[in-house]
C-alpha cells in the first residue's frame, strides 16, 4: 500500500522476506515446497515478478548496494545475485553477508576452518583489509582490538567493545571503562564510565513501584549514546545528561530517561509516571503517562493506563503531539513507531492479529474500519 492506504499489491503472499522492499525489490512466496521451504521469487514495487530464485534456495539477505545474498540450503552454499537474478562473481561461499559501505564479509572452508574476509563489489578480495573483522557499520569495522575504516586505517587500538555511532560519535570500551571517540579516532571523552547505560534500557522502560530497587544503588556511573548532542548518565540510581565536553548539563535527578529526539526526552521522577523534558531539564509535558516512546515527525506513542504489560509486548494505547494533545487512541501492541511515513502496530501481542498503520495526523490508514 502507499502512505494513503491505497493497496498497490494485493495481499496474496504467505511470506515476505524482511524487511520487505529494499532498493525497489522484495522477496515473496505464495507457496511452500513439500519439505516446508518457501518457494521464493522477486517482485518490483508494482508486484510484477522479476525473477525466480530456484528450488532449494532462499534469500539470506535482501538487496543492498545492488546485490542480494542467496543460500542454497541443500548444498549449504551462499552466493550473490544482481537485480536481474543472475549470479555474480562466479564464486560460492560457506557464509556471506550483504554489502555495506562497498564491502561484503564472506567465508570459505567449513565451520571448523573458516577465515572471514572482505570482498569488494567486483568480487575481488579486499587485500588492504584484515581478516576476522565484523561487517562494516557506517564505515567502521571491529577487528580484534581495533576499529578500522574502509581504507584499512586503524582509528583506535586496544579496545574491547564498541556500540555503534550516533551523532557521529562512537562509544568504545577499554579496560572495562567506556568513552567516546569521533570518526577519526580522536578521543572526545576519556575512558571513565563503568557500565554501558543501554544494558538497563529495556528493564528500566517498564519500571513500577516494585522494580525501582532493581536499579543500581551504588555510586557508579554509566553512559548512553549521544543523541542531539546529549548522552544520559547515571549516578547512584538517578539519571541526568552530559554534553560532548563531558559537562553535566542536566543534573541526575530522574529515576529513568529516554534519549533526546526532536528536542525532547522522556523522563520520570518516580519511576511510575513519565513526561518529557527539554534540553534544560525542564518538563514541557508533565509526568502523566505510564510509558513513553520517542518523538518522531512531531508525534509520540504513550501509555495512558497502568495496566500490566505482556511479556515481549511493547504496548501503548495513544499517540500525542508536542502540545500534549491526544491525536489517536488504540490498543497498540508490538508498537513499532514509524515505518516510512506511517506508524505500525499490531492488534494483539507477539505480533499477532491484523497490522495497523496510522499517519502522523492520527488517522487510521489500514485496516479500513
Q: What's the mean pLDDT in 114-124?
A: 92
**Mean model confidence pLDDT for the chain:** 87
Instruction: Say if CB 93 and CB 60 are below 8 A apart.
Output: no
Question: Is residue 217 a part of any domain in this protein?
Answer: no
**Are 45 and 119 in a shared domain?**
yes
Q: In this prediction, what percent of the chain has a pLDDT beyond 70?
A: 88
Q: How confident is the model at residue 217 (pLDDT cuts 50, 70, 90)?
A: very low
- Apex 335 CA angle, 329 and 340, nearest 5: 100
**Are 94 and 149 in a shared domain?**
no
**Residue 226 CB coordination number (10 Å):** 25
What one-character DSSP code corresponds to residue 22? B
Choosing from 126, 150, 171, the residue where a domain stops is: 126
Domain residues for the domain of 340 are: 290-369
Choosing from 80, 109, 126, the residue where a domain stops is: 126
Q: What's the mean pLDDT in 10-27?
A: 89
pLDDT over 60 (residue 215): no
pLDDT the model gives residue 40: 95
For the entire predicted model, the pTM comes to: 0.81
Question: Is residue 205 a part of any domain in this protein?
Answer: no
The Cα–Cα gap between 146 and 296 comes to 35
The Cα–Cα gap between 254 and 271 comes to 8
Write the DSSP string, 275-292: EEE-TTS-EEEEEEESEE
**Are 101 and 156 in a shared domain?**
no
Question: Is residue 282 a part of any domain in this protein?
Answer: no
**Are 5 and 104 in a shared domain?**
yes
pLDDT over 70 (residue 44): yes
pLDDT the model gives residue 124: 96
**Are 151 and 102 in a shared domain?**
no
The residue among 330 and 207 whose pLDDT is bigger is 330
pLDDT over 60 (residue 169): yes
pLDDT the model gives residue 369: 58
pLDDT the model gives residue 210: 36
Question: Is residue 280 a part of any domain in this protein?
Answer: no
**Are 86 and 111 in a shared domain?**
yes
CA distance readout (Å), 275 to 15, 51, 292, 322? 39, 50, 8, 11
**Are 15 and 60 in a shared domain?**
yes
pLDDT over 90 (residue 19): no
User: Could you give the number of structural domains in the chain?
Assistant: 3
Q: What's the mean pLDDT in 253-257?
A: 97
Instruction: Say if CB 214 and CB 200 are below 8 A apart.
Output: no
Question: Is residue 311 a part of any domain in this protein?
Answer: yes
**Are 56 and 140 in a shared domain?**
no
Q: How confident is the model at residue 59 (pLDDT cuts 50, 70, 90)?
A: very high
pLDDT the model gives residue 200: 40
212 — phi, psi (to 5°)? -60, -35
The residue among 197 and 31 whose pLDDT is bigger is 31
Write the DSSP string, 232-301: EEEETTEEEEE-TTS-EEEEEEESEE---BTTBEEEESSSS-EEEE-TTS-EEEEEEESEE---BTTEEE
Question: Is residue 51 a part of any domain in this protein?
Answer: yes
Q: What's the mean pLDDT in 247-270?
A: 97
**Are 321 and 356 in a shared domain?**
yes
Choosing from 126, 152, 173, the residue where a domain stops is: 126
pLDDT the model gives residue 26: 94
Q: What's the mean pLDDT in 227-250?
A: 94
**Are 122 and 132 in a shared domain?**
no
**Are 58 and 135 in a shared domain?**
no
The enclosing H or E element of 202 equals helix 201-204
Question: Tens digit of pLDDT for each residue in 273-302?
Answer: 999 999 999 999 999 999 999 999 999 999
Q: Which residues pair with 265 in a beta bridge?
A: 277
Question: Tens digit of pLDDT for each residue in 67-118?
Answer: 999 999 888 899 999 999 999 999 999 999 999 999 999 998 765 556 899 9
Instruction: Say if CB 156 and CB 169 are below 8 A apart.
Output: no
Question: Is residue 275 a part of any domain in this protein?
Answer: no
**Are 367 and 347 in a shared domain?**
yes
Question: Is residue 155 a part of any domain in this protein?
Answer: yes
The residue among 272 and 9 whose pLDDT is bigger is 272
189 — phi, psi (to 5°)? -130, 125
Find all residues with CB under 8 Å of 98, minimum gap 6, and list them.
Answer: 61, 62, 64, 65, 67, 68, 69, 104, 135
Q: How confident is the model at residue 153 (pLDDT cuts 50, 70, 90)?
A: very high
Amino acid at each position: 500500500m502507499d502512505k494513503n492506504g491505497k493497496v498497490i499489491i494485493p495481499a496474496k503472499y504467505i511470506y515476505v522476506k524482511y524487511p520487505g522492499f529494499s532498493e525497489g525489490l522484495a522477496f515473496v512466496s505464495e507457496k511452500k515446497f513439500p519439505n516446508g521451504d518457501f518457494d521464493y521469487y522477486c517482485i518490483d514495487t508494482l508486484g510484477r515478478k522479476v525473477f525466480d530464485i530456484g528450488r532449494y534456495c532462499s534469500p539470506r539477505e535482501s538487496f543492498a548496494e545492488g546485490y542480494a545474498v542467496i543460500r542454497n540450503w541443500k548444498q549449504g552454499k551462499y552466493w550473490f545475485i544482481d537485480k536481474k537474478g543472475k549470479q555474480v562473481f562466479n564464486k560460492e561461499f560457506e557464509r556471506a553477508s550483504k554489502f555495506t559501505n562497498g564491502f561484503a564479509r564472506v567465508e570459505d572452508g567449513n565451520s571448523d576452518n573458516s577465515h572471514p574476509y572482505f570482498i569488494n563489489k567486483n568480487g575481488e578480495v579486499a587485500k588492504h583489509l584484515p581478516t576476522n573483522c565484523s561487517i562494516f557499520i557506517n564505515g567502521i569495522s571491529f577487528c580484534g582490538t581495533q576499529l578500522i575504516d574502509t581504507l584499512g586505517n586503524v582509528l583506535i587500538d586496544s579496545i574491547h567493545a564498541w556500540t555503534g555511532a550516533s551523532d557521529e560519535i562512537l562509544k568504545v570500551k577499554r579496560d572495562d571503562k567506556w568513552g567516546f571517540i569521533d570518526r577519526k579516532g580522536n578521543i572526545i571523552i576519556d575512558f571513565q564510565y563503568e557500565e554501558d547505560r543501554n544494558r538497563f534500557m529495556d528493564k528500566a522502560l517498564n519500571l513500577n513501584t516494585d522494580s525501582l530497587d532493581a536499579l543500581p544503588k551504588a555510586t557508579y556511573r554509566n553512559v548512553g549514546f549521544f543523541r542531539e548532542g546529549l548522552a544520559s548518565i547515571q549516578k547512584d540510581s538517578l539519571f541526568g545528561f552530559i554534553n560532548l565536553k563531558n559537562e553535566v548539563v542536566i543534573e541526575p535527578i530522574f529515576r529513568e530517561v529516554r534519549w533526546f529526539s526532536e528536542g525532547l526526552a522522556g523522563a520520570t521522577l518516580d519511576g511510575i509516571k513519565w513526561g518529557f523534558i527539554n534540553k534544560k531539564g525542564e518538563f514541557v509535558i508533565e509526568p502523566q503517562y505510564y510509558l513513553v516512546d520517542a518523538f518522531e515527525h512531531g508525534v509520540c506513542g504513550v501509555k495512558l493506563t497502568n495496566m500490566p504489560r505482556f511479556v515481549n509486548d511493547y504496548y501503548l494505547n495513544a499517540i500525542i503531539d508536542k502540545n500534549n494533545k491526544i491525536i489517536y487512541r488504540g490498543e497498540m501492541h508490538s508498537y513499532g513507531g514509524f515505518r516510512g511515513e506511517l506508524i505500525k502496530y499490531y492488534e494483539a501481542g507477539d505480533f499477532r492479529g491484523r497490522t495497523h498503520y496510522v499517519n502522523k495526523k492520527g488517522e487510521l490508514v489500514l485496516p479500513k474500519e
